[in-house]
Structure 1
Amino acid sequence: MDLQPPFQPLPPEFYQQPTLELARSLVGHILVKDTEEGLTAGVIVETEAYLGEHDQAAHSFGKRRTKRTEIMFSEPGHVYTYTMHTHCLINVVAAEPGNPQAILIRAVEPVYGIELMQARRPVDKMKNLTNGPGKLTKAMGIEMSDYGRTFFQPPLIIAEGASVENIATGPRIGIDNSGPAKDYPYRFWIKDNPYRSR
């Protein structure tokens, strides 16, 4: 896949979908980050939705409002970054203001700035470059300082890509201590794409 800039950001209206529909719709669009080192971009191949106060796996379960989760209560289309095991993870804020839901971007397929990604994250196999939420942020230069931005204003955007038909759904990953929520089919990925996390 060979996609070149300029990348056109999706409009704010795109994010005004029910969270599960948005999580599915994001697959196939392009995550783009511009830094002083250069521009990188990858097609989103895997997402996970977290449905807020009633979803035991969500950071905002029970409508927890903390310094970390504050941005989740904002307009959809905002950037929610957080740190897990020293890795920065990136999420799309979803749902209406006051209803703290979010979508984790789990994996992307690199399409632009690949040499820069490899310099940031040397790997033996290309598929290991961005096939996980912590891997993709390091490769693309996405940091905690991106918290609170929107995805429709540079330097961090989600750009228009292509619609995808062969999308699979299944349980989310790494949330074994979340009761019944661990089995909710809130993960979406492109079937047979080598860059999906697992």
Structure 2
Amino acid sequence: MLKGMVDLDQDPFYSNGTTDEISKKLLGMLLTYDSPKGLVGGRIVETEAYMGQKDSAAHAFKGRRTASNEPLYGPPGTVYIYSIHGRYLLDVAAQAKDVPQGILIRAIEPTIGLAVMEQNRTRHGVELTNGPGKLMEAFGIADKDMNMEIFGDSKLNIHQDDKKIPIQIEESNRIGVANQGTWATKPLRYFVKGNPYVSGIKKRDYDQKSHGWR
């Protein structure tokens, strides 16, 4: 459970919500990291749900349990950082302990510590944080040292009481799992429609007025 939460019904990491539902609730919440260079963060605009043992694209498919994916089996709100092709990605365990379902935070709209994030990245503008590896590079996270910590008790935090509301949430198949069996095409990716920081969005689809927020 995240720091400062009292009303469990409002807690997106409380295990009475399904992982896909929680993935949508996270959109608009403020994600921050207290980095060595200063506080950085932004609004979550894109997530993907991974549904555990039954999900052929999930790290815990068929009950796979290793030292590297052990954070998925932790209590809700556990930090799970992993690497693919040399890039680090940020995931959060979404269900009760030993139920290995997680949510990949794919993109944020940066709002805090912009200068620090630009220093950490060679690409700026929407390219700063419009993908899971990009946002971690912008944060300056290049290791798994925070694995098994809890958001809010860690230098990473998801501020559930600081949220913007999307005008519309879009759904699609997840990205980069096309060869991962029957679950690859399920609509488990969620994003703020029209937000320019969503990965792969076309410029013509930007909501220039409000970035997709109410």
Gaps in structure 2 of 5+ consecutive residues: 201-214
The residue aligned with 1:126 is: 125
2:156 is equivalent to residue 156 of structure 1: yes
The residue aligned with 2:138 is: 139
1:110-159 Cα offsets, whole Å, 9 max, x none, are: 00100100000022x40000000000001012342121111122411001
Distance change in 2, residues 1:68/1:23 (3 Å): same
Aligned-residue CA RMSD in angstroms?
1.6
The residue aligned with 2:193 is: 191
Distance 1:63 1:92 in 2: 18
**Is the contact made by 2:55 and 2:183 (CA closer than 8 Å) also made in structure 1?**
yes
1:75-131 Cα offsets, whole Å, 9 max, x none, are: 1101000011111100010111111000000000000100100000022x4000000
SS at match of 1:176: coil
The residue aligned with 2:106 is: 106
Letter in 1 for 2:40: T
The two structures have a TM-score, normalised by structure 1, of: 0.91
Gaps in structure 1 of 5+ consecutive residues: 1-7
> How do 1:71-82 residues align onto structure 2 when only pairs under 5 Å count?
71-82=71-82
1:149-197 Cα offsets, whole Å, 9 max, x none, are: 1112241100122232311011000001112211111000000111001
Q: Size of the alignment, in residue pairs?
A: 190
**Is the contact made by 2:74 and 2:148 (CA closer than 8 Å) also made in structure 1?**
no
Identity of aligned residues (%): 39
Displacement of 1:71 in angstroms is 1.3
Letter in 2 for 1:54: K
Displacement of 1:10 in angstroms is 6.7
- Bigger relative contact order (CA 8 A; separation at least 6): 1
Distance 1:54 1:157 in 2: 29
Displacement of 1:9 in angstroms is 5.6
Letter in 1 for 2:164: A
4+ runs deviating over 6 angstroms: none
**Is the contact made by 1:11 and 1:152 (CA closer than 8 Å) also made in structure 2?**
no
Distance 2:52 2:127 in 1: 30
126-135 vs 92-101, which moves further: 92-101
